[in-house]
Amino acid sequence: MALAKEIMGISVVEKSSLISSSKVFLNPNFYQKENQLCVDRQFQGRRSLRTRRLLRQSPMAAISENLIKVVPEKAVKFKVRAVVTVRNKNKEDLKETIVKHLDAFTDKFGRNVALELISTDIDPNTKGPKKSNQAVLKDWSKKSNLKTERVNYTAEFVVDSNFGTPGAITVTNKHQQEFFLESITIEGFACGPVHFPCNSWVQSKKDHPGKRIFFSNQPYLPNETPAGLKLLRERELRDLRGDGTGARKLSDRVYDYDIYNDLGNPDKGIDLARPKLGGSNNVPYPRRCRTGRAPTDTDMSAESRVEKPKPLYVPRDEQFEESKMNAFRTGRLKAVLHNLIPSLMASISTNNHDFKGFSDIDNLYSKGLLLKLGLQDEMLKKLPLPKVVSSIQEGDLLKYDTPKILSKDRFAWLRDDEFARQAIAGVNPVNIERLQAFPPVSKLDPEIYGTQESALKEEHILGHLNGMTVQEALDANRLYIVDYHDVYLPFLDRINALDGRKAYATRTMFFLSDLGTLKPVAIELSLPQTGPSSRSKRVVTPPVDATGNWMWQLAKAHVCSNDAGVHQLVNHWLRTHACLEPFILAAHRQLSAMHPIYKLLDPHMRYTLEINALARQSLISADGVIEACFTPGRYCMEMSAAAYKNFWRFDLEGLPADLIRRGMAVPDPTQPHGLKLLIEDYPYAADGLMIWAAVEGWVRSYVNHYYPDSARVCNDRELQAWYAESINVGHADLRNEEWWPTLATPEDLISILTTLIWLASAQHASLNFGQYPYGGYVPNRPPLMRRLIPDENDPEYAVFHADPQKYFFSALPSLLQATKFMAVVDTLSTHSPDEEYLGDRHQQSTWTGDTEIVEAFYDFSSEIRRIEKEIDERNADTTLRNRCGAGVLPYELLAPSSGPGVTCRGVPNSVSI
């Protein structure tokens, strides 16, 4: 409480040494009046009973009541000080160093950084907000050579005793170079320190002539905005929206929308043209951040490409900070090296495209690609890549880390129980459903795709149900399914026509044992019908002989390939990355930085626009990593758009609603989270529900503080504009769907915000940071398959029968495909050193000026730490066999904290990788 009171300025403030006027220094009445004015304005319109009690108990309040009628004869001028924290770059290029020294020199002659304080009050003479004199940062030239991460500068303002409370500050950068402004603290007002969390790049006046506006940490709903800040609040939002025209510069801070029309590159050939995603009912998609680039030469509706290493536009403050960018570049360097050597290998010998055996894969971790290929330093030195050569010679950049799936049992991936366990505790635990009818039924249009009856029969699974009939197993909630039939079947003809791609539409059935573990009982493999009597479906069951064992392993590999595609294109990219982007764009465009909901969402929006832009540039683009490494190939993003059209519903994206939709839980008010899991040891759901409840509790405290009734929600024009724009513009292709939640009550707002925070933090973490630990060993989770499973009438059957292991590896990705995939998911699974985890936030004590909210956040942080301890205890509980046992990986993907690197744990606040 003492810390919170200090932040809010409730405690009695000592007389500041900065106040130079002897009249002020000797006049106690001045301090009492100013204290009362500051406190009154800080709490205007939102005095909870608890806060009023605090004010009554403090000595300051008691003295103020006695002296409130004492009015100074005239306004008295005094000085206040600004402490400005600027963050330095760790590394500068030559141009930046030269400009930095030039700025230090010219700063002495008036080309400086100037500040101006703005009051929350209106000046009766000018009818505008009260303003201080302009003050410049001191000692810029003297401190320009400091190598510390942060540098503090000061500036002094002269204000009078009628100035009121500072609510905003403007910054003018007269230097040549931008700088990162972390925070400003104003000291010397009787109400105590006033904090301005900035965390923004301030551009040079020559690039952006207008003054930058920063608001104090005191939140205000729109209708409570102090008179002196109203116009500034509106102006700042107008600047962030822009006018929707022109190409954006990298230094801009403009947030706008566009469709996904920049994934293809038709100017390089028809093979690199791709459909536009979004803007039509046939191919709907969420909107992305507009860049305004010129169209391509061959297709006026397609936006021209910016190829790496040139950066794509995102608003300047959305770009990675230096430590994050350095970590990402290191990962990119590793990816380049890992792709370079296999490419050289492929060019040296045409016989080295496939893995020959398990030892070839093991060598990627033990010996590394360089030793494996026997390439000489002389050969590498001939390449125009001196930095790459030095990296090869100095470190282990070409050696892959051993994936976690191999850490406890090298052969775990071969076991059926591990194959099943990963459906509820692996990197994609969100597709398993309770089977509610047997056989399963397709929802595809039979007029387009023909009769879609399942080939699964009772005799296929009856011997694996512990003596139960199928109906008894259904009634006892013992049958579960991972069904990719309807996702893949519409694309199979086109996928299987691609070189080096072969796929089925799979269904996998599981039986829940008495121990609470799952076992696979049947795999259905479907192909499109080529005629009325064509055999388009087959069922593979657990093996009883050697031939059946290899058939079963191939069938499981095809299931994993299906699973990898849906995981990456639908659950990971679409549901957490792409579908959140419109809400983030709308938040910046419609919610002022002083809006309490913006302050709540701010840490959960960090870096998302930048990582999405990087994905458009090199991952999901034509011939990018996703197309190269995943089964659907050039149809990857069309499959993602089909899932958006047919599957995605915002009202079912929250964890409880999703579990109920999939039949994995039923409502039960007697349970801690109001749900009963039908598989009690379902690690993703069990841990996720704890985090969901913690986030919901935090959001509920926050929302109820600002919105005690529905009228406040309905009358908040910024809030309503944010939600309406997120739907009507950001998700325009689905805006008429009836399932969109309304926003009319505090409970509506709690539900919407909890869902968004869940998706950005825990849901994304559960789907992202296990990619290399589970997928880095390609046989465990092949991202694509190159051969179908032969039957006895196929010409390939003899090859399979003669050497099943060789056939198995020829069906897996090639060496080049596998190593490219491994390098990319290694980067995606890596936490950067500046990661901000759930329960943490930048400037933790000063991000808001509301005492009760600061306290509530500390309570939330404590609950997250408690959850982490409980997850650790669960992972040591031998009765929970899906997360504890010989050779079983603990489920840590929802453990909130993590160190940097690939850890297979940690829940960052935002979608940042």
pLDDT in tens, 361-373: 888 887 655 444 4
d(CA 596, CA 399): 47
Positive/negative CA dihedral, 319, 322, 328, 333: positive
Q: Which residues pair with 831 in a beta bridge?
A: 901
446 located within any domain = yes
User: Which one is catalytic: 175, 567, 764, 831?
Assistant: 764
For the segment 627-647, the average pLDDT, to the nearest whole number, is 97
Confidence at residue 774, expressed as pLDDT on a 0 to 100 scale: 97
Between strands 675-677 and 479-483, the pairing is: unpaired
Contact 298, 809 (CB under 8 A): no
d(CA 758, CA 430): 14
Residue with tokens 């982490």: 868
Give a yes or no: residue 808 inside a domain: no
Q: Which amino acid is at 113?
A: V
Residue 507's domain spans which residues? 408-566
Residue ending a domain, among 198, 218, 238, is 218
Chosen domain end from 517, 536, 566:
566
Rounded to an integer, the average pLDDT of 804-829 is 91
pLDDT digits (tens, 9 = 90+) for 765-789: 999 999 999 999 999 999 999 999 9
User: Distance between CA atoms of 263 and 624, rounded to whole angstroms?
Assistant: 9
What's residue 798's pLDDT?
Answer: 94
d(CA 115, CA 157): 9
Q: Does residue 192 register a pLDDT over 60? A: yes
Would you say residue 504 lies in a domain? yes
CA angle 216, 220, 225 (to 5 degrees): 95
Does a structural domain hold residue 544?
Answer: yes
Domain boundary among 533, 566, 599: 566
The single residue of 338, 577, 595, 731 carrying the catalytic annotation is 577
For residue 820, what pLDDT is reported?
86
Active site residue 764: yes
Kindly give the residue spans of alpha helices, DSSP state H, lying in 123-183. Answer: 140-143
Q: What is the CATH number of the domain that holds 412?
A: 3.10.450.60
In a domain, 562, yes or no: yes
| Strand pairing class (518-526; 505-512) | antiparallel
Q: In the predicted model, what is the mean pLDDT of residues 603-631?
A: 94
- CATH number of the CATH domain containing 194: 2.60.60.20
List pLDDT tens digits, range 554-582.
Answer: 999 999 999 999 999 999 999 999 999 99
Cis peptide before 439 (omega within 30 of 0): yes
Out of 169, 523, 679, 913, which one is annotated catalytic?
913
The predicted structure's pLDDT at residue 451? 75
Question: Which amino acid is residue 183, in one-letter code?
Answer: S
**Within its chain, how far is the Cα of 885 from the centroid?**
32
Mark 158-197 as b/e (b = at least 16 C-beta within 10 Å).
ebebbbbbbbbbbbbbbbbbbbbbbbbbbbbbbbbbbbbb
**Does 16 have pLDDT greater than 50?**
no
Can you say how many angstroms the Cα of residue 455 is from the centroid of all Cα atoms in its chain?
40
Sign of the torsion angle spanned by Cα atoms 537, 543, 545, 551? positive
pLDDT of 74 above 90: no
Cβ atoms 129, 118 nearer than 8 A: yes
The one catalytic residue among 175, 195, 485, 572: 572
Residue 434 lies in a domain: yes
Residue 707, both tokens: 């919105």
3-class SS of residue 195: strand
| Residue 814 main-chain phi, psi, to 5 deg | -70, 170
pLDDT band, residue 329 (cuts 50/70/90) = low
Confidence check: pLDDT of 350 > 80 = no
Say what the pLDDT of residue 360 is.
84
Contact 741, 752 (CB under 8 A): yes
Active-site annotation holds for 913: yes
* End-to-end C-alpha distance for the chain, whole angstroms: 36
Which one is catalytic: 428, 768, 780, 875? 768
pLDDT at 412 over 60: yes
Q: Rounded mean pLDDT of the chain?
A: 87
Asked if residues 631 and 784 have their Cβ atoms less than 8 Å apart, the reply is yes
pTM higher than the cut 0.85: yes
Predicted pLDDT at 582: 98
768 given a catalytic annotation = yes
DSSP state of 130: E
β-bridge partners, 172: 114
At 332, the pLDDT band (50, 70, 90 cuts) reads low
In a domain, 683, yes or no: no
Q: β-pairing, 113-122 with 194-202?
A: unpaired
Distance of CA 701 to the CA centre of its chain: 24
What does the alpha-carbon distance between residue 641 and residue 634 come to, in Å, rounded to a whole number?
A: 13
Residue 11: which pLDDT band, with cuts at 50, 70 and 90? Answer: very low
Q: Classify residue 832: in a domain, yes or no.
A: no
Confidence of residue 57 (pLDDT cuts 50, 70, 90): very low
**Pairwise CA distance, residues 448 & 533, whole Å:** 17
Give the side-chain half-sphere CA count within 13 A for 258: 26
The whole-angstrom separation of Cα 685 and Cα 660 is 11
Contact 228, 129 (CB under 8 A): yes
Q: For this structure, is 195 an active site residue?
A: no
Burial of 269 (0-12, 13-18, 19+ CB in 10 A): exposed
Q: State the sign of the Cα–Cα–Cα–Cα dihedral 164, 165, 166, 167.
A: negative
Structural domains counted in the chain: 2
Q: pLDDT value at position 337?
A: 52
| Highest-scoring range by mean pLDDT, 333-347, 415-429, 451-465 | 415-429
Residue for token digits 């595609």? 565
**Residue 791 CB: number of other CB atoms within 10 A?**
12
Phi/psi of residue 558, nearest 5 degrees: -65, -35
Whose CA is closest to 818, among 774, 768, 767, 777? 777
| CA dist 456 → 433, 436, 521, 524, 788 (Å) | 17, 14, 11, 7, 19
Active site residue 572: yes
pLDDT confidence band for 267 (50 / 70 / 90): very high
CA distance 134 to 125: 19
From the CB of residue 317, how many other CB atoms can be counted at a distance below 10 Å?
17
Please check the confidence at residue 690 and state whether its pLDDT lies above 60. Answer: yes
d(CA 388, CA 339) in angstroms, rounded, equals 12
pLDDT of residue 335: 57
- Residue 47's alpha-carbon distances to 105, 154, 598, 736, in angstroms, are 50, 34, 21, 40
The stretch 515-521 carries a mean pLDDT of 97
- What single DSSP character describes residue 837? B
Query: Are the C-beta atoms of 361 and 405 separated by less than 8 Å?
Result: no
d(Cα 468, Cα 350) in Å, to the nearest integer? 53
